[in-house]
A and B are shown apart, each in its own frame.
Chain A
């Protein structure tokens, strides 16, 4: 029995929204990204449902939309919005430790999109490097070097911040 779009949305939308939040760092941008992706998912549902893993296919669509500036109209829409969203400060505890960690969250925004996506795929989605390469459409070696470069940037920033 092939999965229907409705079943897919019911079971996967929550996880996609969380994934989009990790990519974009912002609730509203994540919402727009997921919305645009899901409309395209419906337009191409037969192809999505017929793929080996509809889940993976949609994650790939969403990631590409996030990375690819030229094709993604969602970004243009977000950027040209009349009232730009204020940068969302995550409600933080008083503990210094938490503040320190939220600094990592802030630093993620400075990374190139492909590097951030690679980090999210490895450290949030827990994908093996081979799968990450498949999502990003690049070689495994490129995934590893993006991640190590991203980690180096974060480390350097943290040292500087301290």
Chain B
């Protein structure tokens, strides 16, 4: 080895002592990370609000509020007010937890979700994908114990549900949204009802109301019996998930068709009319200006066509297509996946 090479090695070694102490740097990194996360949230929240409205789920946006004994929610309002909502870049992933009743969220012993859906908006904003996860599908709790997906809410609130879905799918969610039927009823009333088509008749056990096969007009009073029904359906909660997807698609069609999404003022009026079911964490006005960027995107629903059970009779979540489906979500390549897997796509 030449002299200069040896000198270089020695020089580097001797200057190791210049390196700063680790602990203070670690603290500075943690601080910078908190700031970066807030900026990212502020940037993405506009997109999230747009997605939520796209799907008609003008609904309580729950961000970090549920962690028991956790820090206060990130103060978004102050950061959002001065700037016009930017259009977020890149794909957006949201976890949607739907329940029939607000009490479900407030009473811990009674917590469960009727609907667990992943919302994916690709970077090109051409579509909104709704990917339903079977609520009774088997997952592993942190202790290794088996549970149904819906039961994760009871064990650890929406935080745990999100963590488990993230671990299952590898998808990092930008936000988590909880919806209840009051919000959907109010929005439906405000837009004067939506038109949707049912491939099979639905009879509500709760109210006895019957919905015939074919296309029909759904008013505010129809929302609950229609979206709650599952006991009389051939595939139970799987069919209910598809009913929800169809309803959201129709509602999104109505909102884009009549220009509401492109008009922040009308959007705000809509939300005000439905305020009982709505609880958005952030500055609503600024958020909604971002909704226009979605235009008239198409809504595509993805779900399992039929039950997949283990030998013990428990349900499995996308046992066959799961890995490819999740990879397509992560890689923002759902368009190709949907073309290759038409059985899983809502008609």
Binding site for B on A (CB under 8 A): 9, 13-14, 17-18, 20-22, 25-27, 30-31, 34-36, 38-39, 42-43, 46, 88, 90, 101-102, 104-105, 108, 119-120, 123-124, 151, 154-155, 158
Chain B residues 15-51 with CB under 8 Å of chain A are: 15-16, 18-20, 22, 25-26, 28-29, 32-33, 36, 40
Cα A124 to Cα B2 in complex, Å, equals 16
* Beta-carbon contact of A18 and B19 below 8 Å: yes
Minimum-distance CB pairs A-B, first 4? A124-B12, A18-B19, A123-B8, A38-B29
Pairwise interchain contact B8-A14, C-beta atoms closer than 8 A: no
* Contact, CB under 8 Å: A27 / B22: no
Q: In the complex the two chains form, is B15's CB within 8 Å of A21's CB?
A: yes
Contacts of A88 in B (CB 8 A): 18
Taking a contact as CB atoms under 8 Å apart, the answer to whether A9 and B8 are in contact is no
A96 CB to closest chain B CB (Å) equals 14
In the complex, the answer to whether A105 meets B28 with C-beta atoms within 8 Å is no
Q: Using a CB–CB distance below 8 Å, which chain B residues touch chain A?
A: 2, 4-5, 7-16, 18-20, 22, 25-26, 28-29, 32-33, 36, 40, 170, 172
Cross-chain contact A31 with B172 (CB below 8 angstroms):
no
Q: How far is the CA of A12 from the CA of B33 in the complex (A)?
A: 17
CB–CB A104/B11 < 8 A = yes
Given contact pairs A38-B29, A101-B14, A119-B8, a sample of 9 additional A-B residue pairs in the complex whose CB atoms are under 8 Å apart: A21-B20, A22-B12, A27-B20, A31-B20, A38-B33, A39-B36, A123-B5, A123-B9, A124-B12
Are the C-beta atoms of B11 and A30 separated by less than 8 Å?
no
Q: How far is the CA of A151 from the CA of B5 in the complex (A)?
A: 8
Nearest-CB distance from A122 to chain B (Å)? 9
Which residues in B have their C-beta under 8 angstroms from that of A38? 29, 33
Distance of A130 from chain B, by nearest CB (Å): 19
Contact call B29/A39, Cβ cutoff below 8 A: yes
The majority secondary structure among interface residues of chain A is: helix
Chain B nearest CB, measured from A1 CB (Å): 12
Contact call B25/A13, Cβ cutoff below 8 A: yes
Query: Residue of B at shortest CB range from A105?
Result: B11
CA distance A25 to B18 in the complex (A): 9
Cβ contact within 8 Å between B12 and A123: yes
Q: Which residues from chain B contact A104 at a C-beta distance below 8 Å? A: 4, 7-8, 11
User: Which chain B residues border A151 with CB–CB below 8 Å?
Assistant: 2, 4-5
Are the CB atoms of A105 and B36 closer together than 8 Å? no
Report B165 CB to chain A, min CB distance, Å.
14
Distance of A18 Cα from B21 Cα, bound (Å):
10
Residues of A within 8 A of B25 (CB): 13, 17, 31, 34-35
Task: Identify which of A20, A46, A101 contacts B7 (C-beta below 8 A).
Answer: A101
Taking a contact as CB atoms under 8 Å apart, the answer to whether A13 and B26 are in contact is: yes
Q: How far is the CB of A5 from chain B (nearest CB, A)?
A: 9
Nearest CB of chain B from residue A69's CB, rounded to whole Å: 21
Across-interface contacts of A13 in B (CB, < 8 A): 22, 25-26
Which residue of B18, B22, B40 is within 8 Å of A43 (Cβ)?
A: B40
Q: Flag if B28 contacts A27 (CB, 8 Å).
A: no
Q: How far is the CA of A1 from the CA of B22 in the complex (A)?
A: 25
A17 and B8 within 8 A (CB): no
- Chain A residues with CB under 8 A of B16: 18, 21
CB distance from B64 to the nearest CB of A (A): 17
Nearest B-chain residue to A102, judged by Cβ: B11
List of B residues within 8 angstroms of A30 by Cβ: 18-20
Given contacts A34-B25, A39-B32, A123-B5, contact A27 B18 (CB under 8 A): yes
Q: Which residues of A contact B7 (CB under 8 A)?
A: 101, 104
Using Cβ atoms and an 8 Å threshold, which residues of chain A touch B22?
A: 13-14, 17
Contact A90 B4 (CB under 8 A): no
Residues of A within 8 A of B20 (CB): 17, 21, 27, 30-31
A9 and B26 in contact, given A27-B20, A31-B20, A90-B18 (Cβ under 8 angstroms) = yes
Of all chain A residues, which has the CB nearest B13? A124
B33 contacts A39, CB within 8 Å?
yes
Residue of A nearest to B166 (CB): A46
Q: Complex Cα distance A151/B19, Å?
A: 24
Partner of B29, one of A9, A18, A158: A9
Whether the pair A43, B5 counts as a contact (CB closer than 8 A) is: no
Closest to B35 in A: A39
Point out the residues of chain B lying under 8 angstroms from A102, CB to CB: 11
